[in-house]
Amino acid sequence: MNDISEILRALLDKHSNTRELDDEFQDMLRYDDQLKSDYAAWCEERGYKKSNGYREFVNEIVESQDSVWDNYLEFDS
């Protein structure tokens, strides 16, 4: 079974929050039936829609990282 969360984190590290991340993940899904099946199960487990679940997850990570930096900057002031 593919770890979708880890795959998305790796893509985020590689591409940042860009269109390239979306394109690469969509290509991966297009050419890997097992990944597509694992992704569908991952979305269902987390309550995401298959059409944009990966994007919601990535946005949550980015927002969380931003929040950490905001807290750090407030503490440092």
Letter string b/e over residues 46-76, b meaning 16 or more CB atoms within 10 A of that residue's CB: eebeeeebbbebbeeeeeeeeeeeeeeeeee
Give the three-state DSSP class for 47: coil
> What are 31's two structure tokens?
């050419």
56, pLDDT greater than 90:
yes
Per residue in 44-53, pLDDT (tens digit) is 999 999 999 9
Per residue in 3-24, pLDDT (tens digit) is 999 999 999 999 998 999 999 9
Query: For the whole model, what pTM was predicted?
Result: 0.82
54, pLDDT greater than 70:
yes
The pLDDT, as a whole number, for residue 64 is 84
How would residue 68 be classed by pLDDT, with cut points 50, 70 and 90?
Answer: very low
